[in-house]
Amino acid sequence: ASSLLAATIVPADLTIQVKPGFGALFPAPSTPQVFYITLENDVGAIEVMKCTSRSVDLLTVVRGQDGTVAQDFVLDVTRVELRVQAIVLEEFVQVNGDAMTGDLDFATNEIQNAYLTGTTRITGGQSIGMAIRGTLDQSNNELVVPAASGVRATAGGVPLVVNTDDIIALLDTAGVIDLASATVGVKIGTAGASDYLRLYGGSTSHVQFAHNDTDLLITAVTTGKFSLADLDVEILSGSLTVVAGLVQLTDSLLIRPEIKDFALTKQTVSASTTTAIDYELGSFVQLDMDQDITDLSITNPPATGRVGSLRLKIKQDVTGGWLITNWPSGITWPGGIAPVLSTAANSVDYVDIWTDDE
């Protein structure tokens, strides 16, 4: 595009006029578009201007561009032209051979269907609608982020797991993790750490398993009992030590024990007119006589078909003279005669009773 200047201008003028009809040869930019024009007079004076708009043959300009300064230009001897200025070339993507010499700013625009190789690095921005793959066209382990909001990303077609997931529910809808491989185990914590495994029931009650580098500690923050069903417990080595509490067999069998030492629980019962001795509270009984006993009975004896023994230490008080009238029914005495108790003050008699259900 080229035209002669149709009106003389001075440095303060921001509108220039080309010859009638020649304006159509020049672009008509709209914000933020611009183009550059060059004015050169008959003596070779040059000024580059930036045109921001055009109305027919009138061009609105910014003066003194690309290292030039605003000058006076006379009509008919000054030519207005579209030329390739340095400022235009400098706005192109700069390359040296086949290599870019600066950063490429897309200014929110997109790269579509591109193939980037080498050490190319993309900083900032967003990757949308494409899979991330390890090698070209390998999709079996690709990372895909679906377009729909809230849909979980996948790796190789499998949804990714995040730290808020219920791992048990994800691995098996029945709530079971199957570690079928012999090379698979579950490790909790690291050496020197105080880690534990808790099994919760209702509310805050739980059983906690921990290891302190020496002992396996099982702590119950609950009530109830530790139950085994259809399972044998075998101690291959070591000892079973009860520090406190009871080992209660509840009439079950203790088969072939070798007893190194033992003691019987002693219970003390004070005499009353009707006195009951509870076999479960101890099979060695001290019966303190400070009055006559009309009826003596034994409760909770061994179950039918089993043999038990009870040793009675019958001790008179400082007065003495106290008697037992009726012994427990069913007792068979030697010769059919019940024992005659010593009645002297502080005297002691021992009576052994055995049960055999006959």
Peptide bond between residue 32 and the one before it cis (omega within 30 degrees of 0): yes
Q: Which residues contact 139 (CB under 8 A, 6 or more apart)?
A: 131, 133
Tens of pLDDT along the chain (358 residues)? 999 999 999 999 999 999 999 999 999 999 999 999 999 999 999 999 999 999 999 999 999 999 999 999 999 999 999 998 888 787 777 777 877 777 777 777 777 887 777 777 777 777 788 888 888 888 888 999 888 888 889 988 888 887 777 776 666 656 666 666 666 677 777 776 678 888 887 777 888 888 887 888 888 887 777 788 888 888 888 888 888 888 888 778 888 888 888 888 899 999 999 999 999 999 999 999 999 999 999 999 888 778 889 999 999 999 999 999 999 988 888 888 999 999 999 999 999 998 776 5
Question: Are the C-beta atoms of 61 and 51 separated by less than 8 Å?
Answer: yes
Token pair in block for residue 120: 């190319």
Among 317, 292, 318, 307, CA closest to 356: 307
Among 41, 48, 2, CA closest to 21: 2
Question: Are the C-beta atoms of 287 and 275 separated by less than 8 Å?
Answer: yes
Q: Output the pLDDT for position 115.
A: 77
Single pTM value for the model: 0.45
If you search the block for the tokens 């050496």, which residue do you land on? Answer: 191
Token pair in block for residue 113: 């269907």
Facing residues of 298 across strands? Answer: 277
User: How far, in Å, CA of 40 to CA of 49, rounded?
Assistant: 11
Q: Output the pLDDT for position 343.
A: 95
CB atoms within 10 A of CB 336: 6
Q: Output the pLDDT for position 176.
A: 66
Q: Output the pLDDT for position 217.
A: 85
Q: Output the pLDDT for position 184.
A: 67
